[in-house]
């Protein structure tokens, strides 16, 4: 089936010069896991069975935001039907002293303390034969607390903001150039404050863990974005060797960052399994996704932009305040993109945090750049208006030819082409710059745009490739597939390097016994594991080639390795393509055994010498009802510079998913905190609004597909997160263009528009 039939919005760019010469790899037109997903045979953590029947654990959460547990009366709960154990801080097995270390350090509460840091903190686990029995018994626990004053009003505590105790990717505060001079030189200024709300990831599959012990060995099925890190954190927290933990996760039903760390329920499931001596299944209920498993911090962002009359930005200042928990600092680096996105004489950025009685925040799709671009790209729209300059022109006027923050060259940057291509597809040149100038009957029409950007990350990874005697292949890598397409690109990359049809390649991931891969976070999986797979496949291919060279019966006998290529399951001589031999024949004549190789790759030395980022341009059209201010996003046109697009189907789908989330960020998404009691009042999918199909108009997503071969041999940068960046601002800027009303408090709901 042609790929374009699956993705009507997708068309390859043409006529754009390529930085590299590598042809696009042969693609798997259908998702590797499509059949398993649609037929329901794909199993998720909570659906697995242990060797013996599992029992069920239910997490009991604190009902106060701050203080300590005074007592727990568990008599009635313990006697309740089916109950096997009631585990509380008064009787929980003692774990070694907390040793929260990277990779994904999180301070988790696992019944080792009586102190309460937030409302919703796990305070007990009830284990019973069935889930209803566990829930029933949980309701019978009598817990008394000593309550203390809670810090829950973020906006009233901004004065207490302090620098983070731990740095993020980059220093929390940074200044470049002479800010005072630059700000006074710029005669056109924008100085505004933008706010973004608490948000909580809600993948289709909530967190779930199935755990059982075999002596000192722990077996775990867990829904995770990071097999290796999950294993390591479980082992360290429980005080057992990492090798004693076997973890499996063949499918992750979405993650978006919340499954990048190991949270309390995972440890509690293992602890409960130890206590009752049986396999324990622990799945979080939907409302439990708000609090104990992270979320996106709320932000207040102050931006100052100064420019000369010709639109040249002289100075930019971006000061961010986020909330954090009392247990641990998590920094949402919302000003990071402001350091690198536009050229300017001077730039000052800072991040501070306010301690709150809330659960630890964590990575949530494009942590930093999602809400950071929402603020910065709205401010840029305001500057364009003040300058009476076209918003695209303003961005081109301040185009950064190298990274202004690090002063390093880009590994590859084609943002200019993104503006051009998306602008043309959108019809931007027909825009009347005057706000509130386009009307269709009762609808106010607006066109807005913004820049998208996200860093290109890459980590060390390993993979195993095996060429089988039947000419098929196997690729194994301890990565994980969040529904993003990891299986698909694994099979594709191995097949492409081996010259074997990717449909004949079996891919296995999601098992801690496989070669180690990094977290599927920071948009790094494809860029990290594909080079390792490619390297493994290359070595496996060479091993078979060597067998053929040494084999008098082979047409390749005596050939030199450099002359051997592979295609359609055969090795052949480049100098004489008629001379060929199939993998299957070579292997059957030479011992009849599969041949395998391990590939191990890491970022090249170049990675520190260059700045590696992806870019994009997002254009949005909205229709706003002139009376009700109901906003309809009619269409979004976006073009991205993400290096090589490894797979059209899964890649474009990821970008589209990010854009849909960006629309939700702009219009819908917000966790409403009860600032007296400290729980989120809309902790369910009925009241936590996210876009549905009816909220998303036409999406036209294209990529330039220009390989970034300085970043990695495949030229591919990650694409998991960039789609959400820029989108919220593009929608907000379109709403301003439609109505003349600027809402700086996301989400842009109709009450805010009506009262503006
Ligand atoms: Mo992503 S927020 O790095 O899982």
Average pLDDT of 1-8? 28
- Residue 22 is predicted with a pLDDT of 47
pLDDT of residue 4: 28
Once rounded to an integer, what is the mean pLDDT over residues 22-26?
55
CA of 523, closest atom in ligand 1: 3
Q: What phi, psi does 602 have (nearest 5°)?
A: -145, 165
Q: Give the least confident one: 28-32, 477-481, 591-595, 618-622.
A: 28-32
pLDDT at 685 over 50: yes
DSSP letter (8 states) at residue 242: G
Q: Would you call 115 a catalytic residue per the annotation? A: no
3-state per-residue secondary structure call for 658-694: HHHHHHHHHHCCCECECCCCCCECCCCCCCCCCCCHH
Task: State how far the Cα of 182 lies from the Cα of 307, in Å rounded to an integer.
Answer: 9
Residues 169, 174, 175, CA angle at the centre, nearest 5°?
Answer: 155
The Cβ of residue 434 has, within 10 Å, a number of other Cβ atoms equal to 9
Q: Assess whether the C-beta atom of 495 lies below 6 angstroms from ligand 1.
A: no
Query: What does the pLDDT average to over 450-462?
Result: 97
Check if the beta carbon of residue 349 is closer than 8 Å to that of residue 173. Answer: yes
Q: Which token pair is 386?
A: 């003040």
How far, in Å, is the centroid of ligand 1 from the Cα of 707? 23
User: Best substitution site from 200, 480, 481, 521 to test ligand 1's pocket, by max atoms within 8 Å of Cβ?
Assistant: 521
Name the band, by pLDDT with cuts 50, 70 and 90, for residue 14.
very low
Q: What is the pLDDT of residue 107?
A: 81
512 Cβ neighbours under 8 A, 6+ residues apart: 227, 228, 231, 245, 246, 247, 248, 478
Calpha distance 174→179 (Å, rounded):
11
How far apart are the CA of 721 and the centre of ligand 1, in A?
Answer: 7
Amino acid 8: pLDDT = 30
What is the rounded average pLDDT of the residues 404-420?
Answer: 97
pLDDT digits (tens, 9 = 90+) for 156-170: 999 999 999 876 668
CB burial of residue 221 (10 Å; 0-12, 13-18, 19+): buried
Q: How many CB atoms lie within 10 A of CB 129?
A: 16
Q: Tens of pLDDT along 273-331?
A: 999 999 999 999 999 999 999 999 999 999 999 999 999 999 999 999 999 999 888 99
pLDDT at 15: 32
Average pLDDT over residues 222-229: 97
Kindly report the protein residue whose alpha carbon is nearest to atom 4 of ligand 1.
257
HEC per residue, 65-105: CCEEEEEEECHHHHHCCCEEEEECCCCCCCCCCCCCCCCCC
Mean pLDDT over the full length of the chain? 94
Catalytic-role residue among 133, 205, 382, 721: 721
- Using CA atoms, how far apart are residues 160 and 157, in angstroms rounded to an integer? 5
Average pLDDT over residues 699-706: 98
At residue 24, the pLDDT reads: 53
Q: What is the pLDDT of residue 168?
A: 65
The mean pLDDT of 336-363, rounded to a whole number, is 97
**CA of 201 relative to ligand 1 center, distance in Å:** 10
Q: Ligand 1 within 6 A of 367 CB?
A: yes
Task: Give the pLDDT confidence of 228-282 residue by residue, as tens digits.
Answer: 999 999 999 999 999 999 999 999 999 999 999 999 999 999 999 999 999 999 9
Distance 531 CA to ligand 1 centre (A): 21
Ligand 1 geometric centre to CA of 184 (Å): 39
pLDDT at 103 over 70: no
Q: How many CB atoms lie within 10 A of CB 482?
A: 26
**pLDDT tops 70 at residue 20:** no
Percent of the chain exceeding pLDDT 90 equals: 92
Element (H, E) at 273: helix 264-276
- The structure tokens listed for 387 are 């300058």
Q: Is 522 in the pocket of ligand 1 (CB under 6 A)?
A: yes
pLDDT, mean of residues 71-81: 98
Indicate the Cα dihedral angle 374, 379, 380, 383, nearest 10°: 160
Whether 667 shows a pLDDT value over 70: the answer reads yes
Is the pLDDT confidence value at 604 over 90? Answer: no
Ligand 1 near 482 CB (within 6 A): no
Mutate to test the pocket of ligand 1, among 201, 365, 527 (most ligand atoms within 8 A of CB): 365
Q: Indicate which atom in ligand 1 lies nearest the CA of residue 259.
A: 4
Question: pLDDT grade, residue 27 (50/70/90)?
Answer: confident
* pLDDT(19) > 60: no
Which pLDDT band, with edges at 50, 70 and 90, does 29 fall under?
confident
Question: Would you list the DSSP string of 20-31?
Answer: --PPPPPPPSS-
In this prediction, residue 11 carries a pLDDT of 35
Instruction: Report the C-alpha gap between 127 and 124 in whole angstroms.
Output: 10
Q: How far is the CA of 393 from the centre of ligand 1 (A)?
A: 32
pLDDT surpasses 60 at 101: no
What per-residue confidence (pLDDT) applies to 535?
A: 97
Residue 226 Cβ inside 6 Å of ligand 1? The answer reads no
Ligand 1 within 6 A of 257 CB?
Answer: yes
How many CA atoms lie less than 13 Å away from 316 in the CB half-sphere?
26
Residue 7: predicted pLDDT: 32
Statement: residue 21 has pLDDT above 80: no
């Amino acid at each position: 089936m042609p790929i374009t039939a699956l993705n009507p919005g997708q068309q390859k760019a043409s006529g754009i010069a390529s930085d590299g010469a590598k042809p696009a790899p042969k693609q798997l037109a259908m998702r590797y896991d499509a059949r398993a997903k649609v037929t329901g045979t794909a199993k998720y953590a909570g659906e697995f069975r242990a060797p013996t029947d599992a029992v069920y654990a239910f997490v009991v959460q604190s009902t106060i935001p701050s203080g300590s547990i005074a007592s727990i009366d568990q008599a009635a709960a313990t006697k309740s039907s089916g109950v096997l154990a009631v585990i509380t801080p008064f009787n929980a097995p003692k774990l070694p002293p907390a040793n929260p270390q990277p990779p994904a350090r999180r301070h988790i509460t696992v019944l080792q303390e009586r102190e309460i840091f937030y409302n919703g903190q796990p305070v007990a686990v009830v284990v019973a034969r069935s889930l209803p029995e566990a829930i029933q018994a949980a309701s019978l626990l009598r817990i008394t607390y000593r309550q203390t004053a809670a810090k829950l009003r973020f906006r009233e505590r901004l004065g207490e903001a302090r620098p983070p105790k731990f740095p993020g990717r980059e220093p929390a505060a940074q200044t470049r150039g002479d800010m005072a001079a630059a700000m006074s030189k710029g005669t056109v200024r924008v100085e505004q404050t933008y706010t973004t709300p608490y948000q909580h990831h809600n993948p289709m599959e909530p967190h779930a863990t199935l755990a059982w012990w075999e002596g000192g060995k722990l077996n775990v099925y867990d829904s995770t974005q990071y097999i290796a890190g999950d294993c390591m954190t479980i082992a360290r927290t429980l005080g057992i060797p990492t090798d004693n933990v076997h973890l499996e996760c063949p499918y992750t039903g979405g993650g978006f960052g919340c499954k990048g760390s190991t949270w309390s329920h995972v440890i509690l499931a293992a602890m409960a399994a130890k206590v009752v001596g049986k396999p324990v299944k622990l799945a979080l209920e939907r409302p439990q996704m708000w609090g104990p498993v992270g979320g996106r911090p709320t932000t207040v962002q102050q931006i100052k932009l100064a420019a000369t009359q010709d639109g040249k930005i002289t100075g930019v200042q971006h000061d961010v305040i986020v909330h954090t928990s009392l247990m641990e600092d998590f920094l949402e680096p919302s000003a990071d993109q402001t350091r690198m996105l536009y050229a300017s004489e001077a730039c000052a950025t800072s991040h501070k945090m306010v301690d709150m009685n809330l659960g630890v925040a964590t990575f949530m799709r494009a942590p930093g750049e999602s809400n950071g671009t929402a603020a910065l790209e709205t401010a840029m729209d305001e500057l364009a208006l003040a300058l009476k300059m076209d918003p695209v022109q303003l961005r081109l006027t301040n185009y950064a030819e190298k990274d202004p923050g690090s002063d390093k060259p880009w590994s590859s940057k084609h943002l200019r082409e993104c503006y051009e291509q998306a602008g043309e597809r959108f019809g931007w040149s027909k825009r009347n710059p005057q706000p509130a100038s386009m009307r269709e009957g009762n609808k106010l029409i607006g066109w807005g745009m913004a820049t998208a950007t996200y860093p290109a990350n890459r980590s060390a990874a390993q993979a195993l490739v095996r060429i089988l005697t039947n000419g098929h292949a196997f690729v194994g890598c301890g990565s994980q597939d969040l529904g993003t397409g990891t299986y698909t690109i694994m099979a594709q990359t191995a097949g492409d390097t081996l010259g074997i049809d990717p449909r004949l390649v079996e891919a296995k991931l999601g098992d801690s016994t496989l070669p180690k891969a990094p977290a599927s976070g920071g948009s790094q999986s494809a860029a990290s594991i594909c080079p390792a797979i490619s390297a493994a496949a290359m070595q496996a291919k060479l091993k078979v080639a060597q067998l053929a060279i040494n084999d008098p019966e082979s047409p390749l006998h005596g050939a030199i390795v450099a002359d051997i290529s592979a295609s359609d399951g055969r090795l052949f001589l480049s100098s004489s393509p008629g001379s060929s031999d199939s993998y299957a024949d070579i292997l059957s004549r030479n011992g009849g055994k599969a041949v395998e190789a391990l590939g191990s790759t890491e970022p090249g030395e170049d990675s520190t010498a260059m700045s590696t980022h992806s870019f994009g341009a997002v254009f949005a059209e909205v229709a706003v009802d002139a009376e009700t201010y109901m906003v309809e996003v009619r269409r979004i046109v976006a073009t991205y510079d993400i290096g090589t697009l490894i797979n059209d189907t899964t890649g474009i789908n990821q970008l589209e998913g990010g854009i849909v989330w960006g629309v939700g960020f702009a219009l819908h998404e917000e966790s409403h905190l009860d600032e007296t009691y400290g729980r989120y009042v809309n902790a369910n999918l009925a009241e936590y609004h996210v876009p549905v199909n009816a909220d998303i108009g036409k999406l036209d997503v294209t990529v330039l597909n220009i390989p970034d071969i300085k970043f990695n041999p495949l030229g591919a940068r990650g694409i998991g997160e960039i789609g959400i960046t820029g989108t919220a601002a593009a929608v907000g800027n379109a709403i301003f263009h439609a109505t003349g009303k600027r809402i700086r408090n996301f989400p842009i709901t109709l009450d805010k528009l009506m009262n503006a």
